[in-house]
Structure 1
Amino acid sequence: MSEPFYITTAISYPNGKPHIGHAYEAIAADAMARFQRAKGRDVRLVTGTDEHGLKMVQTARAAGAETLAYADEMSGYFRQMCDDLNISYDAFVRTTEPRHKAASVALWEAMEVNGDLYLDRYEGWYSVRDEAFYDESELIDGADGAKLSPQGTPVEWTTEETWFFRLSKYQDKLLALYRDHPNFIRPESRRNEVVRFVEGGLKDLSVSRTSFDWGVPVPGSDGHVMYVWVDALTTYMTGVGFPDREGDWARFWPADVHLIGKDIVRFHTVYWPAFLMSANLPLPKQVFGHGFLLAKGEKMSKSLGNVVDPMALAERFGVDQLRYFLLREISFGQDGSYSEEAIVNRVNAELANSFGNLAQRTLSQIFKNCDGALPRIHGHTDEDQALFDTVGTAVSKTMRTAFADFALSQAAEAWISAVFACNAYIDAQAPWALRKTDVARMETVLGTLYICIAQLAVAIAPIIPESSGRLLDQMGIADELRTYDAIATHWYSPLAESEFRLEQPKGLFPRLELSGEA
């Protein structure tokens, strides 16, 4: 049986429609999932929506809607975004589902059995927007003297009866976790921030609310609903069948990686492992906090009017084109910026002019000069072998290592460098001229390019799956050859023996234009 791999996105809060940051995270997680599948692993990708909490109640009320009806509508937009962006999720979990409530109650009861929950009174600062509690020492002063959270969101003084979780009990265990498993939090800059926070001392955490009832009811405690982060984090276990300890749970838990934004690292690396320790459940292997996506260098916000609908970008430029740009342009884990100009320039230069044009002119010559039959190779020259070595190193070593290390932009960079090498090779070998002087050499050159293009199409498929799939279909590449193991071998023989014949090739990437261009 193939080795399991479990990856999750953050569970999106649907108090508004998805923005480009949600799309970026989903695309990155999907590329990682597709890469692991191409390695032959049994992959589970889970995403979903976190629909409880006071913020949802207030947003629904402002929209004149019932909270559940509003959650139904907004969650639908997130699912549609995933479908439209070709996100290959295996489960989409909503926190309002009965199966998720059962999972949350099971986690709560396990923490209670361990003696880590107690009833007391909470007085302190709370941010409705962040659904988070903050210590006085963490607050910052706003422009008008008002207190703000570290994220710059409004806070209010809250007093109510609440259940507390003995977070302070787990301070030393958490520090030991970070020390003994240095890759539990990545990248390193996020790990350092969390370690400093925990070393500063942990206070017990308020984990229930009585001021509203939109949430998972606390078992045996009328009037209390679970703190939204207890509920939301449990989604990762709901997605693999918890509280059932058999089946998918036994196969996939603990998660290999939670992929999240850097602004919610604390919840995932302090609260979440402490909850799981309390419940005597295995901890996820890694939490990766990626950076923010900036619009022309500015953080997106409704007040600035620069929040972008990712589906408008996908419709304007193409799904694969958007996926490629985001993962190629931004060093994963760091903040990155985008603009329409940058998308157009990157996609035209690399997908249209380089890879698309390489495939089009190679396949067109095979169709025209070889009657569509796969060209035979009549012995390699040093130039041929050098190209095989360059492409082979890129797809079988550099890209595999980069993908496995979440260095998605480095994987794309290695890929495009190999594409450039193929273009330099076809220009130097000039098969269109060889047709008149040395047909056997022409066939060798085109056969060499055919193999390299197929390898490159398989290797980049996690990032541009639809375009790669169309190209591989045109080229007659069988499904069993569309894996990372296959492209690591010399695979010309099964192609040559397939008796496949090319049809007139179709272009992959039409050139993009900026708005207003002729």
Structure 2
Amino acid sequence: MSKRFYITTAIDYVNGQPHLGHAYEKIVADVIARGRRSLGQEVFFLTGLDEHGQKVQRSAQAEGKPAQVYCDELAEVWLQFVRKLGISNDDFIRTTQPRHKAVVQALLRKLHDRGDLYKAPYRGWYSWKEETFLTDKDRRPDGTFDPMWGEVTELVEDNWFFRMSRYQSWLIEYIEAHPDFVHPPTRRNEVLSFLRSRPLEDLCISRPASRLSWGIPIPFDPDYVNYVWFDALTNYFSVPAAQGDPAALAALKGYYEPPDGNLARLELWPADIHVIGKDIVRFHAIYWPIMLHAAGIEPPRQVLVHGWWQKDGQKMSKTTGNVVDPVAVIDEWGVDAFRYYVLRELDIGPDGNWTDAGFKARYSAELANALGNLVHRTLSMLHRYRKGVVPPPHNELEPDAARVAAEVRSCLEQNRLQDALISIWSLITRANQYIDHTTPFKLAKDPAQAARLDQILYNLVETVRVVAVLLWPFLPTTATRIHAQLGLQGEPNRWTEAAWGRLPAGHTVQTPEVLFPRKEG
């Protein structure tokens, strides 16, 4: 048994609505997962939902529903969203699942036995809207709290704490010794700056069950439920444990047994990549590795941090209507057009800006005209001049295809998704220019040029086939449609097929169909 490449997204809060940021994060993780599969790696891709907390409890009560029923209904919305985006996840975790609760409670028991959890009074200003205690740093200059926090009241109560402060020095040394742990480097530097500038406080990890009943009970103190951190973050570890991962089972020996009938025994931990947004870096790059280290568990290998989206240069807001609805865009333009725009427009790391005009421009110029036109022209000429039959192999464009394939492979291995698309489109541009320069439609009129026309047609149709293989991690539906138009079976999902010359002479291609219909206006 060998370790699978294990990639996760952050889990989404079930009480919210899917938006552009959620879509982008899932698509980024999906491309990385598909890319690794294409390169021959076994992959396990996890996404899911965070379903506990005060907001869910209150919303369910307001609708007169049991909290679990309320979550089940919303979970279906999120599952449909994942399917809409064409996401190839292997599992979908919900924090209300028994398999997750068992791991959370096992982790808490182990840390309690190790002396890393203690009970103490907690006094603080509490935001009911955001379900979090605030500090003086959250106050405005006049001493008040921003309205974004909603109602803020002072609260004093006993709670359970995690001794996070005792591991600060360890974490600084760990991040310094593992420069790729937080990526891109700007985020790593932010984390280190934070850790070096102030002492870490111990982490409050519970709420009284009398106030918040919708949560996982603290196993050694049932008057309290687990709050946020050891629930939500543990999802990344609870799935490997439930899948029988040897590292997870060894770490929780004596505290946890996988579900009956578990035969998977998948080797997943440590996670290779957690894909997250910049707003939750502290939780994933500070809280999470310390939680794991305290329990004797290896930290994940990388926290990959993406930026936020704006629309038309402004923060998105439902109030002003300045939003992008991914589902509406996909319904109108197709899922691959949406996937292409967000991946091509925004590199992993910086913030991005969605504009409807920019989306339409990329759709027209890069998808419909460049890619769509190349495929349609190539197959149309092959049908017109050779009855759809592939001529003998020729390698005039092989150096270009090989160079781009090498570039794209390197980009996939380094999670440089935007650069990979730029490279693929350089090959598409090269092929379109090749048509313009070689003028096969003129050569077809001269019988003496038949051999040269064969060479040109082979180079074009083989380039189209290679492009389909390179595109598959990014635009799987489009790549598979191109593959089918070439008369080839299955998906172009194996990187080895990007090698030149795999299309044999005598093979018959299908009639071309429009990949990206042109839109008016």
TM-score for the superposition, normalised by structure 1: 0.91
Question: How far 1:223 moved relative to its partner?
Answer: 1.6
How many residue pairs were aligned?
A: 500
1:176 aligns with 2:176: no
Distance 1:156 1:439 in 2: 84
Q: What SS class does the counterpart of residue 502 from structure 1 fall into?
A: coil
Partner Cα separation in structure 1 for residue 236 and residue 155 of structure 2:
29
Q: Which residue does the alignment assign to 1:468?
A: 479
From 200, 203, 206, give the equivalent of 1:202: 200
**What residue number does 2:304 align with?**
288
For residues 319 and 38 of structure 1, the distance between their equivalents in structure 2, rounded to whole angstroms, comes to: 20
Displacement of 1:407:
1.8
- Which residue of the partner structure matches residue 257 of structure 2? none
Q: How does 1:451-490 map to 2 (within 5 A)?
A: 451-477=462-488, 482-487=493-498, 489-490=499-500
One-letter amino acid matched to 1:202? L
Q: In the alignment, is the contact (CA less than 8 A) between 2:483 and 2:491 conserved in 1?
A: no
**How far is 1:66 from its partner?**
3.3
In structure 1, give the amino acid aligned to 2:140.
D
Question: Which runs of structure 2 are paired with 1:128-139 in the superposition (5 Å)?
Answer: 128-136=128-136, 138-139=137-138
CA contact (8 A) 2:479 2:492 kept: no
Out of 273, 281, 300, the residue aligned to residue 265 of structure 1 is 281
Q: 1:301: Cα distance to partner? A: 2.6
Corresponding residue of 1:328: 344
Give the C-alpha shift of residue 364 in structure 1: 0.8
Distance 1:351 1:480, change over 3 A: closer
Whether the 8 Å contact between 1:168 and 1:204 is mirrored in structure 2 is: yes
Conserved 8 A contact 1:148-1:155: no
Kept in 1, the 8 Å contact 2:95–2:231? The answer is: yes
**Per the alignment, do residues 2 and 117 of structure 1 end up closer, same or farther by CA in structure 2, a change over 3 Å counting?**
closer
Q: Indicate if the aligned counterparts of 2:245 and 2:267 stay in contact, CA closer than 8 A.
A: no
Partner residue of 1:393? Answer: 403
Q: Distance in 1 between matches of 2:488 and 2:114?
A: 56
Secondary structure of the residue aligned to 2:17 is: coil
Counterpart Cα distance in 2 of 1:401 and 1:102: 40
Q: Give the distance between the partners of 2:37 and 2:321, measured in 1 at CA.
A: 39
What is residue 291 of structure 2 aligned with on the other side?
A: 275
Over 3 Å counting, the alpha-carbon distance change for 1:5 and 1:190 in structure 2 is same
Equivalent residue of 2:220, what SS?
A: coil
Deviates more, 1:60-69 or 1:48-57: 60-69
Gap change, CA 1:429 and 1:496, over 3 Å in 2: same
What's 2:54 paired with? 54
1:185 is aligned to 2:185:
no
Deviation at 1:369, TM superposition (A): 1.2
CA offsets 1:5-62 (integer angstroms, 9 cap, x no match)? 1100100001122111111111111111100000011011100000001122233344
CA distance in 2, matches of 1:163, 1:111: 12
CA distance in 1, matches of 2:5, 2:170: 26
Q: Cα offset for 1:217?
A: 0.4
The 8 Å contact of residues 2 and 40 in structure 1, kept in 2 or not, is answered as no
SS in 2 for 1:272: helix
| Offset at residue 371 of structure 1 (A) | 1.3
Q: Deviations over 1:220-265 (max 9, x none)?
A: 2022000112101111122223484447665111100000111011
Shift of 1:430: 1.1
* Structure 1: stretches of 5+ with no match in the other structure: none
- The structure-2 alpha-carbon separation of the partners of 1:173 and 1:275, relative to structure 1 and needing over 3 Å to count, comes to same
134, 140, 145: which one aligns with 1:147: 145
Q: 1:159 is matched with which residue: 153, 156, 159?
A: 156
SS in structure 2 of the partner of residue 251 of structure 1: coil
CA contact (8 A) 1:140 1:152 kept: no
2:428 aligned partner: 419
Residue in structure 1 matching 2:365, options 322, 333, 349: 349
Q: Which residue identity is paired with 1:203?
A: E
**Is the aligned partner of 1:441 residue 2:438?**
no
Q: What SS class does the counterpart of residue 46 from structure 2 fall into? A: strand
Residue 255 of structure 2 corresponds to none
d(CA) in 1 for partners of 2:150, 2:398: 54
Matched residue type, 1:451: E
The one-letter code sitting in structure 2 at the alignment partner of 1:141 is R
User: Contact between 1:102 and 1:243, CA under 8 Å: does it hold in 2?
Assistant: no
- Residues 310-368 of structure 1 deviation map (CA, whole Å, 9 limit, x = unaligned): 11111011100000000001122111011222111111110100011001000111112
Question: Aligned to 2:240, what secondary structure does the other structure show?
Answer: coil
Question: What do you get for the CA RMSD once the two structures are aligned?
Answer: 2.1
Consecutive unaligned residues in structure 2, runs of 5 or more: 247-262
Contact 2:480 2:492 in 1 (8 A): no
TM-score (norm 2): 0.91
Q: 1:179 to 1:242 in 2, by over 3 A?
A: farther
1:496 counterpart residue number:
504
CA distance in 2: counterparts of 1:129 and 1:276, whole angstroms: 29
Task: Look up the match of 1:450.
Answer: 461
SS at match of 1:452: helix
- Going from structure 1 to structure 2, the CA distance change for 1:461 and 1:104 (only over 3 Å counts) comes to same
Cα 1:95/1:403, change in 2 over 3 Å: same
Q: 2:503 is matched by which residue type in structure 1?
A: L
- Report what 2:67 is aligned to: 67
- In the alignment, is the contact (CA less than 8 A) between 1:373 and 1:502 conserved in 2? yes
1:76 matched to which residue of 2? 76
Q: Are residues 291 and 481 of structure 1, via their aligned partners in 2, closer, same or farther at CA, if it must alter by over 3 Å?
A: closer
Q: Which amino acid aligns with 1:201?
A: P
Map of 2:35 onto structure 1: 35
> Partners of 1:481 and 1:89 in 2: how far apart?
18
Q: Percent identity?
A: 40
More displaced, 289-298 or 355-364? 289-298
Q: CA deviation at 1:406?
A: 2.1
Going from structure 1 to structure 2, the CA distance change for 1:230 and 1:482 (only over 3 Å counts) comes to closer
Instruction: Report the Cα distance in structure 2 between the residues aligned to 1:147 and 1:415, rounded to whole angstroms.
Output: 50
SS of match in other structure, 1:223: strand
Rounded Cα–Cα distance in structure 2 between residues aligned with 1:57 and 1:480 = 44
Alignment CA distance shift 1:179-1:370 (3 Å): same
Deviation at 1:204, TM superposition (A): 0.6
Report the 3-state secondary structure (helix = DSSP H, G, I; strand = E; otherwise coil) of the residue aligned with 1:119. strand
Provide the C-alpha distance between the structure 2 equivalents of 1:117 and 1:350, rounded to a whole number of angstroms.
Answer: 55
**Higher mean displacement: 412-421 or 356-365:** 412-421
1:65 and 1:300, CA in 2 relative to 1: closer, same or farther beyond 3 A?
farther
For 2:153 and 2:465, the matched residues in 1 are separated by 58
User: Are residues 1:407 and 2:416 paired?
Assistant: yes
Give the secondary structure class of the aligned counterpart of 1:307: coil
